[in-house]
Chain A
């Protein structure tokens, strides 16, 4: 909370209690959804992930905005830039990791071509094998 403006702390207490209730209700909802297999009725695991993460993000927003009092901070710039830079750096690093992981999936790359240094994909291997068959046919 910024100290350079007058704060109504009694009002803030009410907001904190309200967020506390949101956190408890959110936890209960997520737990109940799992207990009663709500996602299975909706269509599968994807819905479970969506619901759980949706509730978790709402809970996290409440904690950051009210408990960590970002909402009222008049000098938001420093914290916001710090956290935004963190987020984008992290997202970038994870993006690279995930892309690399996709690239290495079985069936995607078998080996590297010794002459060109390029990865041998299923398509290029098939084309190469067809070409070899053609050579043999010529003989």
Chain B
């Protein structure tokens, strides 16, 4: 049985059925992503000053992924033109390039960008004095209000309106957990996984005084209870708290009472940073940059996650078009096969369109 209007357009719509279908689907996608964009704008406009953690994003990674996606958008439409010019080998070559670009986008996102965030921690403190002490240990020259103000405003308060509204204890010190001390005083390394620093074993840890107290009472498991953690060893964020340290040849300071670290800086997990020892009782809240960290990250993961699923779906469809069956369809009806590729391309361009708006909104503005 022949499928009607798979190649030639219908008289009433002016489109072959597949094309009409994909445009209807894209219309529904506009609604879906549009609702999320609107939610983002409303949440951002309604957020209290000093709570929008946009400054924690790595803009260079975002820009790199944007360029990758642009390249894939060009190759996917050129692949379709190859078919129109009867060049099946050219189509296959360009389709493979599109898949490689798309896969690179996902690799950057899912093996670097997200894991780097899941192992990056924010810590707020129980008092201003405690915050002052630990921030002073993190900054190479000791505590400086100007330095903390500069770091905090860049990360949480780009409009520079809320410095005096938020107490020092609620302004986080951030970095990577490279070790911890248990209640017997023994130090444990939390090294990198497979030698990759952002695949740390300290993955999605969470602590807050009220919830930990409840967990202690109820006997429910938490990371801090499981490892019996008395204090953590934090390497403050590279190039942020410890700006000059990366280029400096001075010996690295390490957290006090750290038996396993030599003071000449040869620890494998601290990666050339200073480290700070923070006792559990000083920590008010500890969280990685996961969806529960803040409203910003909740929306960021929702939107980029949904977008990444679209990229993954596109890869599967493009791979299907490279299976041996595709050559058979091409041999039977060139127009029909070219239409399939056109429809896939329309979907792929929509994925690119979404990212064109996601990049500035989530990384720059």
| Partner-B contacts on A (CB < 8 A) | 1, 3-4, 7, 9, 12-13, 16-17, 19-20, 23-24, 27, 30-31, 34-35, 45, 48-49, 52-53, 55-56, 59-60, 63-64, 67-68, 74-75, 77-79, 82-83, 85-87, 89-90, 93-94, 97-98, 101
**In the complex, A105→B145 CA distance in Å?**
35
Q: Could you tell me if A16 and B78 are in contact, using CB atoms closer than 8 angstroms?
A: yes
**B30 with A87: CB separation less than 8 A:** yes
Of A53, A86, A98, the contact of B27 (CB 8 Å cutoff): A86
Q: Are B31 and A86 in contact (CB under 8 A)?
A: yes
A75, B353: Cβ atoms closer than 8 Å? no
Enumerate chain B residues within 8 angstroms of A90, measured Cβ to Cβ.
30-31, 34-35
Verify B27–A20 contact, CB threshold 8 A: no
Interface residues of B in 1-28 (CB under 8 A from A): 9, 13-15, 20, 23-24, 26-27
- In the complex formed, the residue of B with least CB distance to A35 is B59
B159 touches A78 (CB 8 A): no
B233-248 interface bits toward A, Cβ cutoff 8 Å, 1 = contact, 0 = none: 0000000000000000
Return the chain B residue nearest A89 by Cβ.
B31
Tell me how far the C-beta of A52 lies from the nearest C-beta in chain B, rounded to whole angstroms.
Answer: 4
Which one of A30, A53, A60, A86 contacts B353 once the chains associate, using CB atoms below 8 Å? A60
Closest to B16 in A: A3
Q: Is the CB of A75 within 8 A of B15?
A: yes
Q: Are B356 and A45 in contact, with the CB atoms below 8 A? A: no
Asked whether A52 and B364 contact (CB < 8 A) given A63-B356, A75-B14, A83-B30, the answer is yes
Query: Is A13 within 8 A of B81, CB to CB?
Result: yes
Q: Which of B42, B84, B364 contacts A34 (CB 8 A)?
A: B364
CB pair A63 B14 closer than 8 Å: no
Distance (whole angstroms) from the CB of B66 to the closest CB of chain A? 5
What would be 14 A-B contacts, judged by CB atoms less than 8 Å apart? Answer: A16-B74, A16-B78, A19-B74, A20-B70, A20-B74, A27-B70, A34-B59, A48-B364, A52-B361, A75-B13, A75-B15, A82-B23, A82-B24, A85-B27
Residue among A24, A52, A67, A87 making CB contact with B77, cutoff 8 Å? A67
Residues of chain A with a CB closer than 8 A to B353's CB: 60, 63-64
Residues in A neighbouring B344, C-beta threshold 8 A: none
Instruction: Please measure, in the bound complex, the distance between the C-alpha atom of A9 and the C-alpha atom of B90, giving whole angstroms.
Output: 14
Within 8 A of A (CB), among B104-121: none
Contact with A along B347-365 (1 / 0, CB 8 A): 0011011001101110011
Choice from A19, A45, A75 contacting B9 with Cβ under 8 Å: A75
Contact between B360 and A24 (Cβ–Cβ < 8 Å)? no
Set of chain B residues within 8 Å of A31, measured between Cβ atoms: 59, 63, 364
Chain B contacts for A30, CB-based, 8 A: 359-360, 364
Residue of B46, B70, B335 touching A24 (CB-CB under 8 A) = B70
**Which chain A residues border B13 with CB–CB below 8 Å?**
75, 78
Q: Measured between C-beta atoms, what is the minimum distance from A38 to chain B in Å?
A: 11
Q: Given A90-B34, A98-B42, verify A17-B63 contact (CB < 8 Å).
A: no
Chain A residues in 8 Å Cβ range of B350: 68
A86 to B42, CA, bound (A): 21
Query: CA of A34 to CA of B357 in the docked complex: distance in angstroms?
Result: 15
Please list the 10 inter-chain residue pairs (A to B) with the smallest Cβ-Cβ separation, ordered nearest first: A75-B14, A52-B360, A86-B27, A20-B74, A34-B364, A23-B70, A78-B13, A67-B349, A94-B38, A90-B34
Quick one: closest A residue to B45, CB to CB? A101
- The reply to whether B67 and A24 form a contact with Cβ atoms under 8 Å apart is yes
Question: Once the chains are docked, how many angstroms separate the CA of A17 from the CA of B94?
Answer: 14
CB distance from A26 to the nearest CB of B (A): 8
Output the least CB separation between A138 and chain B (Å): 44
A97–B38 CB distance below 8 A:
yes
- A129 CA to B346 CA in the complex, in Å? 62
In the assembled complex, the Cα of A19 lies from the Cα of B38 at a distance in Å of 28
Q: Tell me if B197 counts as interface (CB < 8 A to partner A).
A: no
Chain B residues lying within 8 Å of A16, measured Cβ to Cβ, are 74, 77-78, 81
Q: What chain A residues lie within 8 Å of B220 (beta carbons)?
A: none
